[in-house]
Amino acid sequence: MSQPDDLSLFRSEPFLEAVNKFEELVTQSGRIFLIGAGCSKCAGLPLTGELTAEVLKNVELKEESKIILKKIQSLFDGATSANIEDYLSEIIDLIAIAERRRDRSAKKTAVEFHGETFELNQLSEVADQVKRAIVAVIEKDVSIDTHRRFIKTVHQPLRPNKYAQNQGVDYLVLNYDTLFEDALALEKLS
């Protein structure tokens, strides 16, 4: 691990008391970090809204898929922050309905949606195309240097020869990508 940064400025007033309290918290066992949406923007991946826009304009989406996606989008008119996850979930819900009908040998397995009828294979194809479009957007070279520096900082001693009582750290990662998990693996932490 690298040498700790020189933080001597923070070991004098007016910062000293706050730093000491922070150090007490950080050296306690049971540390948990909530890593939320946006933590991989610095690595070059889009935020969910940007991902949605890029997926919706992907040239690999067939016209039928674009039509279904537009119909699903219209269901979210007035909603705040509806995104590709919401749209894909709607498609998967429709697939589940069609599969349930098929598995029960119903006469009508197609799903009526927004004034049209869609077969299971059509809906499955749309879901597959959306997933491929997502992969096309996020499957690119990215830098996880910031993620790795964060992890190194969390796991290094606060001061030379001063370790936390329990070096265990839990991470709750809410991102759609695995960059944070990749950084943990590269730092040989799990």
Q: Give the start-to-end residue ranges of the domains of the chain.
A: 30-45+142-190, 47-138
Q: How confident is the prediction for the chain on average, in pLDDT?
A: 87
- Looking at residue 92, its pLDDT comes to 98
Dist CA 2 CA 109 (whole Å): 61
Sign of the CA dihedral with 62 first, then 67, 70, and 75 last: negative
Buried b (16+ CB within 10 A) or exposed e, 30-58: ebeeebeeebbeebebbebeebbebbbeb
Report the chain's terminal Cα–Cα distance, integer Å: 16
Residues 177 and 45 sit within 8 Å (Cβ to Cβ)? yes
Give tens-digit pLDDT for 4-57: 566 677 777 888 888 778 777 766 666 788 888 788 999 999 999 999 999 999
Dist CA 107 CA 96 (whole Å): 16
Residue numbers of the chain with a pLDDT score lower than 70 = 1-7, 26-30, 157-167, 190
Stated pTM of the model = 0.74
Residues 18 and 7 sit within 8 Å (Cβ to Cβ)? no
- Looking at residue 164, its pLDDT comes to 52
Residues 6+ apart with CB under 8 A from 188: none
- Looking at residue 4, its pLDDT comes to 58
Strands (DSSP E) contained in the chain are: 31-35, 111-113, 116-118, 169-173
The tokens of 94 are what? Answer: 């429709």
Tell me the residue type at 91: I
Q: What is the dihedral of CA 84, 86, 92, 96, to 10 degrees?
A: 180
